[in-house]
Structure 1
Amino acid sequence: MAVMSMPSPIDEQERRVALKRHKFFATALLGVAAVIFLTCRYVESTLGLDDAWIGYVRAAAEAGMIGGLADWFAVTALFKHPMGLKIPHTAIVKRKKDQVGVAMSEFISENFLNAELITQKVREFGIPEKLANWLVEPENATKVSAETGRLTANVVRAMDPADAEQLIQRALIDRAAEPEWGPPIGRLLEQLIADGKTEPLVEEVAQWMHRKALGAEALVVEVIDERMPTWAPRFVQDLVGDKVYRELVSWTASVAATPDHEARKAIRRFIKQLADDLQYDKVLKGRVEEWKQDLLGSEPLQAAPATLWAATSKGIIAAAEDPDSLLRTKVADLAVTWGGNLRDDSELRDSLDHRITGATRFLADNYAPAVAEIISETVERWDADEASDKIELMVGKDLQYIRLNGTIVGALAGLVIYTVSQVLFGS
């Protein structure tokens, strides 16, 4: 059985001392009334005094004693059986604990968690206006940025790396592995050709060929030397090598300088044919799929989710915790901007208010009964004896004033009644 939550041991001890002190005072006042009553009876019966004032005092003391006893019984009966006697309708808190919990939950549900009442209070509070006026202050926007950064960093740190890596694996790598790569690449390349986006590539290939040719003189001479007959004179080899090199440089320069050169056209035809083959040639598509499987099975790509998450999470946390980062700065700027728009645009405020009240009504309609039910379930799990003791500890001090009032008011009532009877009927 659950134990009800209570104040700290120090506060509990202070409450117990205060309760004992108030109980003692209320009991002492009841004892005083009893002593006065018994003294008056002794004076009347034993000493034979019959002064008028004795009757007034006796009546007041007697009524005060009766009132104090009645209220002592009433207060005690709430939490335990008076004097250990199991009188009906006593120890009410202990016996009716569960019913009290249900009644409390119903009362709170009907009077505090009512959807109409809650939405009305939320609407009266004017959240959009207050939010707008708060956000437009730069220091408050900085607070929003700081809290957003702190929350973002905590969320990222709280995420299990294995879950994040699995998400990356499923969302990126596994999804990329599902379709054939050839046809999409071919269609993309075909669209690039249609848009003229491949011309920079053709231009770069032409320029690259010329740059390589300019620096290839030694290579050309070496290749010529290897292929010339061994009996050929050296000057012939040099002449041939030089001639081939100059022709190569002249040809690549022409390709680089002439947009409609046949070599460029050949490159364009190759790219166009490649785009077509990627879509329709089964052999090439199969080869691309083999390359895809080799790539996906490679160690770097297998380790990519962990590497990507480590780098991404580190970057996010660093940006979230750095007050001068682009992320934090943008959040602060957006807060000020949005606050200004909200302050100046009545339609935006009305829209936000409608959303807030709608969300509040939804929560109240759907979750208020569950919240109220928590009260009854919690009370039901309390230990009956401990619950009675703890509740008495929390409210018992105030209940002792009922006993004091019972004694005092009873004495005054007794005195008034006795006085009226004396006036009407005499001694």
Structure 2
Amino acid sequence: MTGAIIDDSHGPMKDASPPPPSLAAAAPDAADTERQRADLRRHRMAATGLLVAMGGVFAGSHALPGQGTYWMGLLQAGTEAALVGGLADWFAVTALFRRPLGLPIPHTALIPSNQDRIARRLGAFVTRYFLAPEILQERLRTLEVAGRAGAWLASGDNPRRLAGRIADLLPALLDAAGDERLRALVARGLTARLRQTDVAPLLGRLLAAIPDEEYGTLLTQAVTLAREQLVRNEDRIHAIVTERSAWWLPKAVDRRVARALIGAAFELLDDLEDPDNEVRRRFADTLRDFRARLTDDPDLHARLRAVKNRALDHPQVQDALSRVWDEIRRALTESAGRRDGRLRAGLTEALRGLGDRLLADADLRQAVDSRIEAAVMKGLVPWRDQIGGFIEDVVRKWDTRTLTERLELTVGRDLQFIRINGTLVGALVGCVLYVLVEALS
């Protein structure tokens, strides 16, 4: 009976939380249920037909001639015992699921009357015999999860199919995780990583990778870009000078000051663009000296680090870092939607490679199995009482009539064989007892 309860519990436990109050969701399809019902009716009719036949023979034997003879007595004793055994087993089987003949006989309708106790005992049974630490540990060690997973991943088309499943689920997983949380998580991760990164050595290696003769070309391009920006922002420079000058100065003076500043800036840019100009040579020397200091000047390192951290704290920089997740998500979603995309191909190769490594490396298999065992023992064992309580709560909330019907359909056919065996064994015992009494009298 416990086995039947455990089998039927799979349906409700797979449904969404909270647990359903009825077992209806766990019922198999209608065709399977109808087949079970027909099978139960057929075996019930066989058991009842045998019992009725024994009753008919017993009643008819008293109307036959030859009353009191040895063989008639043997027939009557056997059929009488068959009736007793068959009726007793009919009562016992019926009492499991309902009250026989609807009579309020004590200790009948055992399953409906004891649903709470069944739920409690089932929860305790799973907790004690399925979730005990020593049982879980032994079972996990015999499973060899890493070896089986490696063999599966390394065989046939399994990696490609699994990669396809992961890619198909990826958009839904990204939606479930929530953009705001992931955006903030990516921004925090990038910020923390950038704070830990010392930019001075990186900048030094970058500048060292540029040949000295290329500095002139780069400086010329920078001067051209600066000149374009000055031309484009002349009006803005005039406006800034006007805003920051004293209120009593005439606007004509402001315009002359702005033109002077712009002119001085153009003169400086012209000097920097001239290869023979002293300003350009000094700038190049300063740049080379700066490149050397990037390697071994701790004060410069500290200043650059402070500038970097101030820049990272700026709201616009943080906003730009948070938008990185949007680009990552867009790329992942687009690639996941393509059947021949890079994401699926990369996942396939990674999964196949993982399977090959697990098969080839015994130490890796042992390490993975140890991690799995530790995770299960740490994550499952402390919750064993709660899991047992969950099972108890689910079974207790099942609809009693549906539970009884499902159990009867599951084990009812076998119980009818008990009735048949009880009738036949009763007949055999009755005949044996009659023979013994006759032999001893």
CA deviation string 1:305-351 (max 9, x = no partner): 89655543221122234455444444334334443433333322222
Q: Kindly indicate whether residue 375 of structure 2 is the aligned counterpart of residue 354 of structure 1.
A: no
Structure 2 residue aligned with 1:24 = 45
Identity of aligned residues (%): 26
How much does 1:250 deviate? 11
Range with bigger deviation, 77-86 or 188-197: 188-197
User: In the alignment, which residue of structure 2 is the partner of 1:2?
Assistant: 21
The code of the aligned residue for 1:54 comes to M
Larger Rg: 1
Partner of 2:132: 114
1:378 equivalent in structure 2: 394
Most deviating of 97-106 and 359-368? 359-368
Deviation, structure 1 residue 76: 1.1
Residue in structure 2 matching 1:365, options 360, 364, 381? 381
Q: Is the 8 A contact 2:274 2:280 kept in 1?
A: no
1:38-69 Cα offsets, whole Å, 9 max, x none, are 222233xxx56333211010000000001111
Partner secondary structure for residue 108 of structure 2: coil
CA distance in 1, matches of 2:176, 2:213: 47
* CA displacement at 1:403 relative to structure 2: 1.1
Aligned to 1:254: 276
Write the letter of the residue equivalent to 1:421.
V
Residues 205-251 of structure 1 deviation map (CA, whole Å, 9 limit, x = unaligned): 64348879xxxxxxxxxxxxxxxxxxxxxxxxxxxxxxxx9xx7998
The 1:208–1:81 alpha-carbon spacing in structure 2 relative to 1, beyond 3 Å, is closer
Letter in 2 for 1:6: A
TM-score (norm 1): 0.69
Given that 2:97 and 2:111 are in contact with CA atoms closer than 8 Å, whether structure 1 keeps it comes out as yes
Superposition map of 1:171-320 within 5 A: 203-204=216-217, 206-208=219-221, 252-255=274-277, 261-262=281-282, 264=284, 309-320=325-336
When residues 31 and 192 of structure 1 are mapped into structure 2, their CA distance, relative to the original with a 3 A threshold, is closer
Of stretches 389-398 and 96-105 in structure 1, the one that deviates more from structure 2 is 389-398
Residues 147, 80 of structure 1: alpha-carbon distance in 2 compared, 3 angstrom cutoff: closer
1:41 and 2:62 are equivalent in the alignment? yes
Aligned with 2:105: secondary structure? coil
- What number of residue pairs does the alignment pair up? 362
User: Which residue of the partner structure matches residue 413 of structure 2?
Assistant: 397
SS, match of residue 169 in structure 2 = helix
Is there any run of 5+ residues in structure 2 with no aligned partner, and where?
Answer: 1-19, 226-266, 294-298
Q: How far, CA to CA, are the matches of 1:419 and 1:107 in structure 2?
A: 47
What one-letter code is carried by the residue in structure 2 that aligns with 1:38? A
| AA matched with 2:122 | M
Q: How does 1:407-418 map to 2 (within 5 A)?
A: 407-418=423-434
* Mapped partners of 1:92, 1:250: distance in 2: 100
Q: CA deviation at 1:200?
A: 9.2
How far did 1:270 drift?
12
* 1:91 alignment partner, one of 80, 97, 109: 109
Question: Following TM superposition, by how much is the alpha carbon of 1:141 offset from its aligned partner in structure 2, in angstroms?
Answer: 3.7
Q: CA, structure 1 residues 200+90, in 2 after alignment: closer, same or farther (shift >3 Å)?
A: farther
Matched AA of 1:96: N
Aligned 8 A contact 2:163 2:344 in 1? yes
Amino acid aligned to 2:37: R
Give 1:28's aligned amino acid.
Answer: G
2:272–2:280 contact (8 Å) kept in structure 1: no
Residue 133 of structure 2 contacts residue 381 of structure 2 at CA under 8 Å; is this kept in 1?
Answer: yes
Shift of 1:265: 5.8
Q: Which amino acid aligns with 2:86?
A: G
Aligned counterparts of 2:328 and 2:205: Cα–Cα separation in 1: 36
Q: Distance in 1 between matches of 2:281 and 2:178?
A: 58
Equivalent position of 1:215 in the other structure: none
Q: 1:141 to 1:200 in 2, by over 3 A?
A: farther
1:261 aligned partner, one-letter code? R
TM-score between the two structures when normalised by the length of structure 2: 0.67
Structure 1 residue runs without a partner (length 5+)? 213-244
Q: In the aligned structure 2, how far is the partner of 1:358 from the partner of 1:370?
A: 19
Return the offset for 1:402: 1.2
Q: Indicate if the aligned counterparts of 2:51 and 2:86 stay in contact, CA closer than 8 A.
A: yes
